[in-house]
Amino acid sequence: MSTSANGSAAAGTDALSASRPTEVNRLERVVIRFAGDSGDGMQLTGDRFTSEAAAFGNDLATLPNFPAEIRAPQGTIPGVSSFQVHFADYDILTPGDRPDVLVAMNPAALKANIGDVPKGGTVIVNTDEFGKRNLAKVDYESNPLEDDSLSAFEVHEVAMSTLTQGALADTGLGKKDAERCKNMFALGLLSWMYHRPTEGTEAFLREKFAKKPEVAEANVLAFRAGWYYGETTEAFGTTFEIAPAKLPRGTYRQITGNTALAYGIVAAGQQSRLPVLLGTYPITPASDVLHELSKHKNFGITTFQAEDEIAGIGAALGAAYGGALGVTSTSGPGIALKAETIGLGVMTELPLVVIDVQRGGPSTGLPTKTEQADLLQAYFGRNGECPVPIVAPATPADCFDIALEATRIALTYRTPVLLLSDGAVANGSEPWLIPDVSTLPDLSVTFASEPNAPDGSGEHWPYQRDPETLAREWALPGTAGLQHRIGGLEKAEGKGNISYDPDNHEKMVRLRQAKVDGVAVPDVEVDDPTGDARVLVLGWGSTYGPIGAAARRVRAKGMPIAQAHLRHLNPLPANLGEVLASYDHVVVPEMNLGQLSMLLRAKYLTDIQSYTKVAGLPFKAEELESVFTDILREVTAV
């Protein structure tokens, strides 16, 4: 089999096409999970499969899930890395709860993931890895492929390592190197099963390994071998088609949250016509923002990899003082370290965008897993009364818009702004309707050029405010006649000199609060299709997808439910109190122990049902569906 695949692959580079008549099943949606050892290339495999789905025009959502260890002990459960992709012919909201198809590259991957596969699901295993030693590593007493433990599933046993090595026998590549291409074999097989376009993957491999053409060709060969294996073996009687999704008109691309966030910062620099300085320290899961921005120096972006988190934000604030768009990016532990500098930004009233890609906590916590437990840290995690505006993206693509929004607020109000992304949106991906840059908001700023003292003295008062926004003027070093000193000590209103005056402090604390409270944010919109819902589900951040998917399912059962989602956490939308009051029951699902619920109860004196989970993984739609259904039954019964 593999020989013929090899032969025909070598014959030309035409796109692969299936010739054997197989039964074609049309599906609306499918969830596929690739699972293997950390070193097996599962993230790359999943990513490529996603790109194929995107190129085909499906709607999609992804969930990478990997350990913090770069290479945990081989073949063990902690070393399992997986990538789940959900694609459909309609607009979907989540990466899917349970995989319809599990590709397990070794016993550990099977053991760690089989519990998520619904009965009747498809399991494709690489039998070559199911030797005694690997089985023992994960405490399989007998080979699950030989006992009846997998009888509830449709199991396909494929000797992927052997077949890959066979396909690459003539390439001159060593056995070990050849075996490493088995992930592309798996990708080829799945690509055949789901009628995916293949040109993109082949082009990608040739570009990725441009400096090692023999490796590129080996991967292409393995990919094709997988495809031909599916086509010729008859082991797989059925293939599946998922038609392109009917999304709104326009041109799309696939994008992850961290890439969208980085592009948002690039766009913010362009739209504000300011140079950008990103001061940062590498930290999971935020580092990709640094990696991406460091590639775009041609947009006037400087990336400064600092000696620590504190220096990262310090440099960003120093750049902001000089008139640049200062940005810092981190995850929760880094926010703890940056807190004092955020305070200085609040006191000196300089614009600053502070990105927190949240992970599981506390302390080092779960670096590669998701959580939204930094909301209260963002609100209150500094000394003194130290308010900052807070925004959060709802989806991977929304990271682009939220970066522009954070920048708008920072520049308009001269304040640090906290942007709360999280691991799920940061690493997840979805189709993105590419914006026309001519429609992006104008973020241009005006710097102070003339002394502004209201007493006509010709002095410059650095803390003189715009009466509408309460923002102070941005007077840059280098501007003649506006020399002034700022700093962390309390400032006299207007003149900005050090002041220990009790009344002045009272006034300044309240002014800083009033400035943040007065940030203009859009009203929250409620999705209540039938208009008669009595229960409102309110979310923020990355829970948007599973909440929305669950709400759809509940509605499909004929039960009305309203959904609203917050992108602005501080200040909260002006209409939120009214919205909360207009429903009999409000439920707030969060990946923390109820932080937003606590804020809402305190601010609106209203009862909130908090539903929380801190498993390091996003909510499942079926889980929320069941929670919402129970609540709706109770509320209706009253």
Partner 1 sequence: MTATDLGLPSMGGLDLVPTTDEPQKAKEYKSDQEVRWCPGCGDYIVLNTIQSFLPTLGLKRENIVFISGIGCSSRFPYYMNTYGMHSIHGRAPSIATGLATTRPDLSVWVVTGDGDALSIGGNHLIHALRRNVNLKILLFNNRIYGLTKGQYSPTSEPGKVTKSTPMGSVDTPFNPVSLALGAEATFVGRAMDSDKKGLTEVLGAAAQHRGSAVVEIYQNCPIFNDGAFDMLKDKDEAAQRLIPLTPGEPIRFGAEGEFGVTTTGYGGLDVGKVADIGEDNLVVHDPSIEDTAYGFALSRIGDQHLNHIPTGIFRQVERETYDDQARAQVQQAQEAKPGDLQALLTGKDTWTVE
- Binders of partner 1 in range 40-59 (CB under 8 A): 51, 54-57
CA dist 440 and 271 (Å) reads: 7
485 binds partner 1 per the rule CB under 8 A: yes
Cβ burial, residue 188 (10 Å; 0-12/13-18/19+): buried
Question: Which region, left, alpha or beta, applies to residue 458 given φ > 0 means left and ψ of -120 to 50 means alpha?
Answer: left
Q: Which is nearer to partner 1, 437 or 637 (CB)?
A: 437
Retrieve residue 197's tokens. 């376009």
Task: Name the DSSP class of 284.
Answer: T
Contact 110, 123 (CB under 8 A): yes
Least Å distance, CB 140 to partner 1, is 40
Polymer length of the chain:
638
Contact 285, 357 (CB under 8 A): yes
Judged by CB under 8 A, the chain residues 257 through 316 that form the site for partner 1 are 263, 266-267, 270, 275, 277, 279, 296-302, 304, 306-308, 310-312, 314-316
Laid out side by side, the sheet with 101-104 consists of 59-65, 80-88, 29-37, 101-104, 122-126, 154-158
Judged by CB under 8 A, the chain residues 452 through 481 that form the site for partner 1 are 477-481
Least Å distance, CB 179 to partner 1, is 29
Residue linked to tokens 């990708």: 187
Q: How far is CA 120 from the centre of its chain?
A: 31
Q: Which is nearer to partner 1, 38 or 254 (CB)?
A: 254
594 binds partner 1 per the rule CB under 8 A: no
Best CA proximity match to 312, nearest among 355, 351, 260, 272: 355
Least Å distance, CB 511 to partner 1, is 20
Single out the residue of 484, 555, 565, 620 in contact with partner 1 (rule: CB under 8 A).
484
Least Å distance, CB 574 to partner 1, is 32
The DSSP-derived string for 583-621 is SSEEEEEESSSSHHHHHHHHHH----EEEE--SSSPPPH
Least Å distance, CB 319 to partner 1, is 4
Single out the residue of 253, 505, 534, 601 in contact with partner 1 (rule: CB under 8 A).
253
Judged by CB under 8 A, the chain residues 395 through 424 that form the site for partner 1 are none
Judged by CB under 8 A, the chain residues 338 through 357 that form the site for partner 1 are 340-341, 344, 348
Best CA proximity match to 380, nearest among 345, 339, 422, 416: 339
Contact 435, 370 (CB under 8 A): no
Retrieve residue 97's tokens. 């709860």
Single out the residue of 31, 181, 317, 403 in contact with partner 1 (rule: CB under 8 A).
317
569 binds partner 1 per the rule CB under 8 A: no
CA dist 567 and 572 (Å) reads: 9
Q: Which is nearer to partner 1, 341 or 370 (CB)?
A: 341
Contact 93, 545 (CB under 8 A): yes
N-terminal to C-terminal alpha carbon distance within the chain: 65
Q: Which is nearer to partner 1, 500 or 556 (CB)?
A: 500
Q: Which is nearer to partner 1, 86 or 338 (CB)?
A: 338
3-state secondary structure (DSSP) of residue 198 = coil
How many of the chain's residues bind partner 1 (CB under 8 A)?
73
CA dist 171 and 89 (Å) reads: 39
142 binds partner 1 per the rule CB under 8 A: no
Least Å distance, CB 551 to partner 1, is 24
Contact pattern from residue 495 through residue 534 relative to partner 1, giving x for each residue in contact according to CB under 8 A and a dash for the rest: --xx------------------------------------
Q: Which is nearer to partner 1, 480 or 602 (CB)?
A: 480
For residues 449, 453, 458, 462, the Cα torsion angle rounded to the nearest 10 degrees is -50
Contact 494, 463 (CB under 8 A): yes
CA dist 148 and 178 (Å) reads: 32
318 binds partner 1 per the rule CB under 8 A: yes
Least Å distance, CB 199 to partner 1, is 10
Contact pattern from residue 354 through residue 393 relative to partner 1, giving x for each residue in contact according to CB under 8 A and a dash for the rest: ----------------------------------------
Region of 221-229, 322-330, 364-372, 624-632 interacting with partner 1 (CB under 8 A): 322-330
Retrieve residue 36's tokens. 């293997």
Region of 134-142, 150-158, 239-247, 564-572 interacting with partner 1 (CB under 8 A): 239-247
Q: Which is nearer to partner 1, 352 or 390 (CB)?
A: 352
Single out the residue of 489, 574, 593, 615 in contact with partner 1 (rule: CB under 8 A).
489
Contact pattern from residue 93 through residue 112 relative to partner 1, giving x for each residue in contact according to CB under 8 A and a dash for the rest: --------------------
Judged by CB under 8 A, the chain residues 120 through 139 that form the site for partner 1 are none
CA dist 402 and 410 (Å) reads: 12
Contact pattern from residue 195 through residue 224 relative to partner 1, giving x for each residue in contact according to CB under 8 A and a dash for the rest: -----x------------------------
Single out the residue of 250, 458, 518, 529 in contact with partner 1 (rule: CB under 8 A).
250
Region of 95-103, 321-329, 364-372, 628-636 interacting with partner 1 (CB under 8 A): 321-329
Q: Which is nearer to partner 1, 364 or 497 (CB)?
A: 497
Residue linked to tokens 């590669």: 368
Distances (CA, A) of 67 to 338, 584, 594: 26, 42, 26
Q: Which is nearer to partner 1, 87 or 583 (CB)?
A: 87
CA dist 632 and 624 (Å) reads: 12
Cα dihedral across residues 566, 512, 465, 410: positive or negative: negative
Contact pattern from residue 434 through residue 453 relative to partner 1, giving x for each residue in contact according to CB under 8 A and a dash for the rest: xxxx----------------
Least Å distance, CB 223 to partner 1, is 17
Contact 101, 32 (CB under 8 A): yes
Question: Which region, left, alpha or beta, applies to residue 371 given φ > 0 means left and ψ of -120 to 50 means alpha?
Answer: beta
